[in-house]
Structure 1
Amino acid sequence: MDDWQDRVDAVWADDALDPRDVIARIDDLAGERPTDDPVALFERAGARDSAGDEDEAEVLYRHALSVGLDDERRTQATIQLASTIRNLGKTDEALEMLRIEYEREPRGPLHDAAAAFYALALVSSGQAERAASIALQALAPHLPRYTRSVTGYAREIADHLD
């Protein structure tokens, strides 16, 4: 699988390709795998998502998740699916998916990404203050100074909302 994934990664890294070329190349590579291969489905979904074919991406993300992905790709697929369905107007479902992902692993490698997309979904649902709190809590640990202050202010915003 490593060689296959390397070839997929090379397609994603090729900035000269337009989105339709990315879809075609990813589909060719996915064709080397079994029809229900979750990683191939995930890559096909991502290609369509980045090309703006969100309806097709949604179906493929859901299929990849239902077949089963490793933890890292499951998290990525969940974040990407939630972002896609938020763009399709399914804000409540996106919020729930992102809330669960955000709360799942506070120290996970994609926690900040989950926080960012959760904040975007909160804004889309009219909850800008809660979104600011989530975003600030994710940002605070990366600040060279003021981590404690920003964390405290972010919690204060959240407490004010509850």
Structure 2
Amino acid sequence: MTDDWSTRLAAAWADDALDDLQRVAAIDVLAAELPEGDARALFERAGARDSAGMEGEAEPLYRAALAAGLDDELRPQAVIQLASTIRNLGALDESLALLRAEYERDPRSPLHDAAAAFYALALVSSGDAVRAASIALTALAPHLPLYTRSVTGYARELVDPEA
């Protein structure tokens, strides 16, 4: 994969003149430039379909991309996007398991807050809005200009009133 390929991929994602199906087609053309079964190509094809509301087509592509071995930058994105997709398709338990594992994997990960956001959404879908609020507030707290410690404490108390 070259810098030129990545630049053209970014341009396809950023091109507001493309409708969803045109973007899927453009990304498929770019993906076809990579070897068959390439993890990045599978991931981009999945993301294009997911973005276009074609979750049923995106799911197997995400799974194939993960099985093919995405790098440390793309793997968390694929897990989050797959989990969100399958939540929308009704596989809530698997979605929760994937998101919880990603959320708990590395608190210093650049996508930790994104994992928290999607984990919170899945928790709400499961009926556990209190835990969802705790996860979301815990992710938000470090970004507040004031009250980080207070919000962190309140978030913890939501799920453990004796904390």
Q: How far apart, in 1, do the equivalents of 2:159 and 2:109 lie?
A: 22
Residue of structure 2 equivalent to 1:43: 44
How far residue 161 of structure 1 moved from its aligned partner, in angstroms, is 9.8
| 1:7-53 alpha-carbon deviations (Å, 9 max, x no partner) | 11110011121000100000000010111000000000000000010
In structure 1, the residue corresponding to 2:73 is in which secondary structure?
Answer: helix
Q: How far apart, in 1, do the equivalents of 2:99 and 2:131 lie?
A: 14
On the 8 A contact 1:120/1:131 being kept in 2, the answer is yes
Matches within 5 A, 1:64-79: 64-79=65-80
Matches within 5 A, 1:1-162: 1=1, 2-160=3-161
Q: How far apart, in 2, do the equivalents of 1:15 and 1:160 lie?
A: 48
Q: How far apart, in 2, do the equivalents of 1:97 and 1:38 lie?
A: 19
Query: For the structure 1 residues 108 and 153, does the alpha-carbon distance in structure 2 shift closer, same or farther, using more than 3 Å as the test?
Result: same
| 1:87-137 alpha-carbon deviations (Å, 9 max, x no partner) | 000000000000000000101100000000000000000000000000000
- Give the gaps of 5 or more residues in structure 2: none
Q: How far apart, in 2, do the equivalents of 1:76 and 1:148 lie?
A: 29
Q: RMSD of the TM alignment (CA)?
A: 1.2
State the AA in 1 paired with 2:160. D
On the 8 A contact 1:11/1:22 being kept in 2, the answer is yes
- Give the gaps of 5 or more residues in structure 1: none
How far residue 72 of structure 1 moved from its aligned partner, in angstroms, is 1.2
Tell me the number of residue pairs that the alignment of Structure 1 and Structure 2 aligns.
162
State the AA in 1 paired with 2:155. A
How far residue 160 of structure 1 moved from its aligned partner, in angstroms, is 3.5
In structure 2, the residue corresponding to 1:16 is in which secondary structure?
Answer: coil
Q: How far apart, in 2, do the equivalents of 1:61 and 1:161 lie?
A: 41
State the AA in 2 paired with 1:95. L
Give the fraction of aligned pairs with identical amino acids, expressed as a percent.
Answer: 73
Structure 1 residue runs of 4 or more that deviate by more than 6 Å after TM superposition: none
Query: For the structure 1 residues 87 and 13, does the alpha-carbon distance in structure 2 shift closer, same or farther, using more than 3 Å as the test?
Result: same
Q: So what's the TM-score if we normalise by structure 2?
A: 0.97
